[in-house]
Amino acid sequence: MIMNYWQGIILGIVEGLTEFLPISSTAHLILSGKILNIVQTEFMKNFEITIQLGAILAVVWLYRKRIIFHKEIIKRVIVAFLPTAVFGFLFYKIFKGYLMENLSIIVWALFLGGIFFIIFEYFHKEKSDGIDDLEKISYPKCFLIGLCQTMAIIPGVSRAAATILGGILLGIKRKTIVEFSFLLAVPTIFIATGYDLLNSGLDFSFNQFSLLAIGFVVSFLTALAAIKFLPYYVQRNDFKLFGVYRIIIGFIFFLFLL
């Protein structure tokens, strides 16, 4: 069926809330579209791109001072982005042509990722002398975080989960790596969505343009809430709850969609 305004609002909320949490926004958008019975048309592809840009604008807005005035942070984000840029360019067709259409891979990635989260938290002990400043993250570690992010080419893995867990293993404090993950999302998603736009049509009707605008605004507003929530949450809690959520949602989707 053709997407209506309420479905556009729902997808905007899903994107905004899940883009920066370690639960895979890609998986949630794909699976939400299946549940809502929305046909994957060229407009739908453009809609998904638009709401991703709304979520990214939320990061730019909240971290605008760091993005503009801190060159050392910018350089570290660029270094971390390099592996993703190369890997994404080489495997773009595989990602779009096979992985994005495979519901089994998405569901299993959610489920197994949840199990990994729980096991990780049981065995990992955070060091008191971990890196607590973005500018103190070394360039080699930035590059390794970027390599971790490449795992997110598998829908369901979660870009946020891969970068955050990778950073924690490298000795970076949770709040610090969460913020670095936010900033790394800016070039990663901006370039990816820009490349997608080059490969899709941009001829919209008034109703379609209205849907794009609504989805963009809703995604922006909900992403603001998610970005403010996660650093606060990780200072007081571990990630086991996200692991449990991934297992539950993966199991539900397995029952109803596979």
Residues of the chain with pLDDT under 50: none
- Residue ranges of alpha helices (H) inside the chain are 5-18, 25-35, 42-62, 64-69, 71-97, 103-123, 139-149, 159-169, 174-198, 206-234, 240-257
What is the structure's pLDDT at 2? Answer: 67
> What is the 8-class DSSP label of residue 2?
-
What is the structure's pLDDT at 258? Answer: 61
What is the structure's pLDDT at 134? Answer: 93
What is the structure's pLDDT at 40? Answer: 77
Q: Which of 191, 178, 109 is nearest to 137 (CA)?
A: 178
What is the structure's pLDDT at 66? Answer: 79
**Dihedral, 129, 226, 70, 127 alpha carbons, nearest 10:** 10
What is the structure's pLDDT at 90? Answer: 81
What is the structure's pLDDT at 42? Answer: 76
CA distance 204 to 66: 35
What is the structure's pLDDT at 70? Answer: 87
- CB distance 107 to 250 below 8 Å: yes
Cα separation values, 116 from 43, 119, 251, Å: 36, 5, 15
